[in-house]
Amino acid sequence: MRLIVGPDARSAARLAADELARACRQAVALRGRALIAVSGGETPWLMLEEFVARDLPWASIHVAQVDERCAPRDDERRNLTRLEALLLRPGPLPASQLLAMPVEMLDLDGAAKAYESRLAGLGGSPLCLDLVHLGLGADGHTASLVPGDPVLSATDRDVGVAGPYLGLRRMTLTLRALSAARERLWLVTGAGKAQRLAELLSGTGEAPSVRVARHAATVVADLAAAPVSLAQRPA
């Protein structure tokens, strides 16, 4: 697990965008297209603002969701709304290549299977994303894999439906999908994440985030979140 530290949240977002862009270029060069998945939250929006400004082969890039709140299409809590604003309007990504989780369907388990099939058409089955971007919650959750949720134990699927969390159910990539990706990119900022980040880096504790595969993983953090003893700025 590699750690890169920037002085503040904006700098960390820029460094994470560098990693995201590199992975996309590499995937397109090797396989003709890139399939990545991004998480929601405030810090990732800074990363995506940087990402969309990059000169990339956008016609060959597909962006999936790591997780989404099960809410109506126009609900302000949906991650998709912000993704569309950043990547499609006026972003460079073709609209058909933003792969939205179908959380508006009544049959959520069926919707999860349908989304898994859609991703399999691009990334195979079991799913192999080129890169998955992850955040880190103060309770140690990542994606919508929260402590104690039964979806944490799912080993036979790449997309699942989690129970209520902060008032809403969530659709999420499973640990199987996160760990099978070619690369994992963590973006962690803020002093409130310092303890959980230390656990992630050391591989200790019982948090869901620690259960994600550690190989081919890069953590980008700011100085507020990174343990002082490990905080080395990139060369």
How is the chain split into domains, by residue range?
10-185
If you search the block for the tokens 């190989």, which residue do you land on?
A: 215
| CB-based contact 66:115 (threshold 8 Å) | no
Region 10-185: CATH code: 3.40.50.1360
**Strands of 122-200, DSSP E:** 131-134, 159-165, 168-173, 184-188
Report the SS3 class of residue 217.
strand
| pLDDT tens digits in sequence order for the chain, 235 residues long | 999 999 999 999 999 999 999 999 999 999 999 999 999 877 789 999 999 999 999 999 999 999 999 888 888 889 999 999 999 987 899 999 999 999 999 899 999 999 999 999 999 999 999 999 999 999 999 999 999 999 999 999 999 999 988 888 999 999 999 999 999 999 999 999 999 999 999 999 999 999 999 999 999 999 999 965 554 544 3
